[in-house]
Structure 1
Amino acid sequence: MAPATPRTTGDALRSTLRRHIRRAAGREANPLSRHSDVRRSRIAIALTLALVVALALAMLTALDVLRIDQRQARYEGQHRHRTIATTVEAAVPDAPGARTGTGGFHAQAVWQFPPATRGGGPVAVAAAAAAGTEVAVWVDDHGHPASAPLPATEVVTRAVLAGAGVMAVLSGAAFTVYLFGRRVIDRAASAAWEKEWGSVEPRWSGRPRHHPGLGDR
């Protein structure tokens, strides 16, 4: 059997959706179609619409986050500056829970930014860094320590994760409602089938119908 191609899979999905639409609208030419089948088709269409809306909202969220982060990245690119700092002491380990240093060691250092303005503070260094080691650091317009500008890869990643998160939450909620609705429909269909079978089976099998509560005569 040949594997299904994306085109054949898409055709099958479109055919299934059209069948559900006809059935939900009561236009399916199938004498065996039951009311429960119509309800199943309607809830399937509702799920499809919910997923389309979820996808649209996820894309809008991703684009919104992308636009905000791009604006932030442009601002930081204009107001964050890379300069060279010189350590004035040897490296020491970071204290537990300290925010200074990301490599496990830091040292006090000084730098000149803005020009002719002296700044200083702790900077992340290697374990063997001695006094006089030059380290590249980021500072703001006033020469205060700052984080690096938001990189383009992180901007895109954050937008994708935001969109994926919205899609996951909304589609998960849609599928939960769909499964609950299907369970309700299936239970109602089973109860209706048992009731109809209780009426038809005695005539079909020729056995007398049992009436609860009546004694034998």
Structure 2
Amino acid sequence: MPALLALGLALAAALSVLLGLFTYVVDRASAARQAEQLHPVSAVAVGHPFAAGVAVRIATVDWTDAAGRHTAQARVSASTELGDHVVIWVDRNDVPRVPPVPAVQSVGTALAYSVAAFAGATTFLVGGHAWARYALNKRVERSWEQEWALVEPEWSRWGRRG
């Protein structure tokens, strides 16, 4: 039974790695599609950044391109100060958008999915193994009790004769 558990854990590890690779590839493909629709521009923060949710800051930014000067509100990093140069991502209409997911975030997501899948599979397999051993031990114990019920009277009678 331990060999079956080891085989199950090895299979769970392999499938977890495949899940992580699949998640990474899908996430990178999504980021590439998003990047095709956007382009980065260099802008200057002309307004004080303010919090707009957990780990999200918004600031008024200015930038100039071939179409002229633009002013809009865009996501900026938490460390952005008034007057800082920032890179923002805009669409074809020069509207700021959420930037494509960076590769490091894709790696983190893939790793998190893999670890969670392996942890779940391990919990299931180890729990199943423990339950199977418990059930088997109970069956063996019942078998011993039945055999003892047959043998004990014989032994008791034999012990009284001697």
Same fold per TM (> 0.5)? yes
Using the alignment, how far apart are the partners of 2:38 and 2:123 within structure 1? 41
Using the alignment, how far apart are the partners of 1:164 and 1:100 within structure 2? 25
Matched, 1:102 2:56: yes
- TM-score scaled by structure 1? 0.58
Write the deviation string for residues 35-54 of structure 1: whole angstroms up to 9, x where unpaired. Answer: xxxxxx4xx44433432332
Contact 1:86–1:135 (Cα < 8 Å) also in 2: yes
* Shift in Å, 1:164: 1.7
Q: Cα RMSD (Å) of the superposition?
A: 3.1
Q: 1:163 aligns with which of 88, 102, 114?
A: 114
Q: 2:125 aligns with which of 174, 194, 204?
A: 174
SS of 1:149's equivalent in the other structure is coil
* Shift in Å, 1:134: 4.0
Amino acid at match of 1:161: A
Amino acid at match of 2:56: T
- Change in Cα spacing, 1:75 to 1:167, as seen in structure 2 (3 Å) is same
Flag the structure with larger Rg.
1
Which structure dedicates a bigger proportion of its chain to strand? Answer: 2
- Give the 5 Å matches for 1:43-192: 44-89=2-47, 91=48, 93-94=50-51, 98-99=52-53, 102=56, 106-112=58-64, 115-117=66-68, 118-124=70-76, 129=82, 133-142=83-92, 143-192=94-143
- Change in Cα spacing, 1:127 to 1:49, as seen in structure 2 (3 Å) is closer
Amino acid at match of 1:141: D
Structure 2 segments unaligned to the other structure (5+ residues) = none
Write the deviation string for residues 122-171 of structure 1: whole angstroms up to 9, x where unpaired. Answer: 55476862xxx243132233222223332222222222221221111122
Identity percentage over the alignment?
23
Count of equivalent residues: 156
- Change in Cα spacing, 1:152 to 1:47, as seen in structure 2 (3 Å) is same
- Change in Cα spacing, 1:150 to 1:127, as seen in structure 2 (3 Å) is closer
Q: 1:199 aligns with which of 140, 147, 150?
A: 150
Amino acid at match of 1:120: A
Contact 1:140–1:146 (Cα < 8 Å) also in 2: yes
Which structure dedicates a bigger proportion of its chain to helix? Answer: 2
Using the alignment, how far apart are the partners of 1:126 and 1:165 within structure 2? 32
Amino acid at match of 1:102: V
